[in-house]
Structure 1
Amino acid sequence: MTTAFISDIHGNFEALKAVMAEIDRLGVTDICCAGDVVGYYSQVNECCDLLRERAIACVMGNHDWYMAGGGFCTRSRSVNDCLAYQRKVISADNLAWLKTLPVQLQAGEVRIVHGGWGDPIDEYLKPSAEYFDQVEGKAFVSGHTHVQRLEIYGDKSYCNPGSVGQPRDGDPRAAFALYADGRFTLHRVPYDMQPVFDLMEAAGFNDYYYGGLKTGSRVLRRLHD
């Protein structure tokens, strides 16, 4: 069986629709999400609705955690600006759903977290053979860094499927991964970003908040910058 892995959607429904269309075209029906359905962009309800309607298993990401728990990010004022807006628009049903997300999942032989196995929600994982020597299992997926990556360590494999909604690896196309017959493959999909820009402007956000989508780079400012 083939499983698709998506991550870091961040309220970017245009990117999510493109990824889901490609996954459907490939005939894959088993889909898992490595977290961060919300955060950054404006269509948080549409993204939550789609995952719920398709019964896509999802772990909790740090942005999901902020939203579900009413907290904020200590690293970024811009993240908090976006969260403040999203708290005003997210539906009660979707907020309740976010609160039910587990911090880790198992999909066949693949172990899934958002961050890492030291901190499932907020670890910025630096994969290495030594790291995974300490983690039980054969195949691993995490998100959080928004950088698509595939590493093989002997009989173990690690994949970051990259970000659907906000790639940070210099490739602006939406990212996902597939796992079949013990092997990960990485995939990218182009999409029309203009509706994202228009909706963000309508919500009161300027190019500073979404400009990085155009190049696949990180542009949001941290509090200490």
Structure 2
Amino acid sequence: MIGIISDIHGNHVALEAVLARLDAMGISEIICLGDVGGYYCEINECCETLQNRKIWTLMGNHDWYLAKNESCPRSNSVNVCLDYQRGIISDANLQWLSSLKPQALYGKLSIVHGGWLDPLDEYMIPGTEYFSGIDGHFFASGHTHVPCIWTGDSKSYCNPGSVGQPRDGDPKASFAVFDGNMFTLHRTDYDIARIQDKMKNAGFTPYFYENLATGSRIGGKIDSLKGLS
């Protein structure tokens, strides 16, 4: 059994809750599909927890922005959060983020952060045509923050959704489990007010964290796979 997490985005409160749930399920092998950084104020705590627990981790686009000292071309809100994280991240944690890769084969799982056409930054929608030219049978990626499972033509795909910033209208932290043949999706409550207080104390206005209570993007938009097409 493998726990699959993604898109933590500096929300260590949510990460703690998901890991506690995985521990309670007896799942000790866990992989992360990237985006440890971005958005919320506990980047060091998230990096250190993943390293201390030896959780195998991919690089996400937000991690790449931090590692390469680049800006996000799509969102000023993202860049405000990245600038904050650049000011507090330790050298050791930045070096660790810089060492990550956006794509890998983990056992029988083909994993990327975004998609197989662009491992870092593709908002992909699974389907028979998409996977027809891609080798393998089991696939997982993050990036969309929308959990889903798709199967077809002897192939199976899972997006575990987001630990730290769900966007599908459900504020519970999301993750998945792979038993070697099948994916299952799971949600767990966490103390949203606690990370909101931490963001407030770090100097952020409610605009940057009120969305956590509604399971949406910053600004309030709720995403779906259809909306990403």
Q: TM > 0.5 between the two? A: yes
CA distance in 2, matches of 1:85, 1:167: 21
SS class of match (2:77): helix
Match of residue 108 from structure 2? 109
Cα deviations across residues 104-155 of structure 1 (Å, max 9, x unaligned)? 1222111110000000000011111100111111000000000001001131
Q: Do the aligned residues in 2 keep the contact of 1:76 with 1:220 (CA within 8 Å)?
A: no
Match of residue 209 from structure 2? 210
Superposed, which structure 2 residues align to 1:129-148 within 5 Å? 129-148=128-147
Match of residue 161 from structure 2? 162
CA distance in 1, matches of 2:66, 2:36: 10
Cα deviations across residues 31-53 of structure 1 (Å, max 9, x unaligned)? 10000001000000000000000
Superposed, which structure 2 residues align to 1:27-46 within 5 Å? 27-46=26-45
Aligned CA-pair RMSD: 1.2
Q: Mean Cα displacement is larger for which, 165-174 or 99-108?
A: 99-108
Superposed, which structure 2 residues align to 1:172-191 within 5 Å? 172-191=171-190
SS class of match (1:188): strand
Structure 2's unaligned 5+ residue stretches are 221-229
Shift of 1:220: 4.0
Match of residue 61 from structure 1? 60
SS class of match (1:177): strand
CA distance in 1, matches of 2:106, 2:189: 27
Residues paired across the two proteins, number: 221
Structure 1's unaligned 5+ residue stretches are none
Identity between Structure 1 and Structure 2 (%): 54
- Alignment TM-score, normalising by the size of structure 2: 0.94
Shift of 1:181: 3.5
Match of residue 150 from structure 1? 149
Query: Using CA pairs below 8 Å that are at least 6 residues apart, which structure has the higher relative contact order?
Result: 1
Match of residue 100 from structure 1? 99
SS class of match (1:64): helix
CA distance in 1, matches of 2:106, 2:219: 33
